[in-house]
Amino acid sequence: MSNESNTPTNFIRQIIEKELAEGQTKIVHTRFPPEPNGYLHIGHAKSICLNFGLAEDYNGVCNLRFDDTNPHKEDQEYIDAIQEDVRWLGFDWDDRLFYSSDYFPKLYEFAVELIKAGKAYVCDLSAEEVREYRGSLTEKGKDSPHRNRSVEENLELFEGMKEGMFEDGSRTLRAKIDMGSPNINMRDPALYRIRHGVVHHQTGDAWCIYPMYDFTHPISDALEGINYSLCTLEFEDHRPFYDWIIDNISVSCHPRQIEFSRLNLEYTVVSKRKLTQLVDEKVVNGWDDPRMPTLAGLRRRGVSPASIKEFSRRIGVTKVDGTIEMGALESCIREDLDRSAQRRMAVLNPLKVVITNYPEEQLEAISAPNHPKNESMGARPINFGRELYIDRDDFRESANKKFKRLVLDKEVRLRNSYVIRCDEVIKDEAGEIIELRCSYDPETLGANPEGRKVKGVIHWVSAKEGVKAELRLYDRLFNHPTPDADKEKHFLEHVNEASLTVIENAVVEPLVATEEAGKSFQFEREGYYCVDKDSTVGKPVFNRVVTLRDSWAKIENSN
């Protein structure tokens, strides 16, 4: 039961390996406990890879458990999406799918146990009054006037809460710990609140009281036999209450809570509240918008599970909060796609070229490698004919020696094909270039021309067989590296207006136009793209996954 992966060690692995070696731990049992109130994002991916990865590496098990204690914000849509995301990353929970709501009857029993032990009481203070009584970081709290109710009265009132006798917000069940504790989380925290008129996605209307997260989580861990309860650093101050709950109820398992730093990523936000706001205010086109940091958005954009796993491996697990450069994620995506993505050609801004010395009706099948670095991927046929398209940016009527593309009266090589020479430029009445008349050298297919050197290579697509396509060029959603850390501006003011550019008249190779959604390619010299779910047979749609190089590096270095 040892770590046989190539994952770098970290403090959590060191704890596990020490306890395995000393016999304190027999089996590594972790859990991933998402709240079904939104879609998972890149930060959750780190937790998924950590919890499921540790279980795999040490021959243990990992549960998937939905923390569904707040039905007001939860939905079956999110439950389904979360399961899809975890599976997409390559992990499975086998028969260990649980809901915190599975334990509602047991949680109620444990609450009664705490009341009977004089360690919980029903409080009539309003939420505002509770905050007032709680005190501050520099001032101790003061006892609720209801703190010393008798056990019998508390049991009766708690039963009344369960039976729906009281209004929302009128009463809570609170733990009786220490209102003078330096840790505010230990100042008689709430255990249960009243919620009428909410239909729970698992339990329906069976309950009108719902347990708080900090009460539910340690008990759920204990009931499932979890021994490593891994969570992010914001829960470090909650750990004493986690332990207090386990120590004061009748359970045999005492899970160990261990905190690690959460994933903060530049040029994005990972707060569920803010992600929900982006969706609700239609700043983006849904949870799976390819600009979103959600796993659904990354998947639709064309990011692979392998690149996300590699990203999680590289950033590691520490106890120090920080912000990861977006370039680190994009680098993992590029490296993965450079290895796996077949090459195709696409012209984003088409300019027609007529090869005047090529037969009008002739089409010539030319073999082009699917991947220049991997012969095992084979080759594909592309048809060369009299008429084709090149990109407008690849032509100038005149240019200096630094311009390595097509210039009037000069030559360039077409990718995987012949050398052509531009002989004439055709313009419309407004002076706009609408066509180039060129000639080709029939001796240059796979061979250099004799007596002259051609430096430039440009891509192209057959005008006769090329397919019109829509290309969606996605970029970073925000133009500020930490949009939600700016105290002077609302995070929405940092939305990058150029985060999506749509090109409707691109032309692509016919072979790529019929691929299924999710398939990724490198459009040579343009970037990595994948087929979007909006694609149809007559109108393929491609999403730019990532550029060939980090176009933000120069901008960031100049600031």
Q: 325 — phi, psi (to 5°)?
A: -65, 140
CB-hemisphere CA count at 13 Å for 317? 25
453-484 CB burial, b ≥16 within 10 A, e <16 = ebeebbbbbbbebbbebbbbbbbbbbbbbbbb
Based on the residue annotation, tell me whether 272 is a catalytic residue of this protein: yes
Identified catalytic residue from 35, 236, 325, 435: 35
Say whether 119 sits in a helix, a strand or coil: coil
The Cα diameter of the chain in Å comes to: 104
DSSP symbols for 275-340: HHHHHHTTSSSSTT-TTSSBHHHHHHHT--HHHHHHHHHHH---SS--EE-HHHHHHHHHHHHHHH
Sign of CA dihedral 183, 184, 187, 190: negative
In single-letter form, the type of residue at position 158 comes to F
Q: ∠ CA(414), CA(363), CA(467), 5° rounding?
A: 70
195 labelled catalytic: no
Q: What is the C-alpha to C-alpha distance for residues 42 and 520, in angstroms, rounded to an integer?
A: 20
- Whether 325 sits among the annotated catalytic residues: the reply is no
Q: What one-letter code names the amino acid at 125? A: L
Check 142, 147, 195, 262 and give the catalytic one. 262
What is the rounded distance in angstroms from the CA atom of residue 551 to the CA atom of residue 557? Answer: 11
Catalytic pick among 65, 149, 272, 380: 272
Query: Could you give the angle at the alpha carbon of 378 between the alpha carbons of 376 and 381, nearest 5°?
Result: 175
Please count the helices (runs of H) and the strands (runs of E) in the chain.
13, 29
Angle at the Cα of 516 from the Cα atoms of 379 and 550, rounded to 5 degrees: 75
Phi and psi of 18, rounded to 5°?
-65, -45
Per DSSP, helices labelled H in 41-169 are: 42-57, 76-88, 104-116, 127-134, 151-162
Residues with catalytic roles: 35, 262, 272
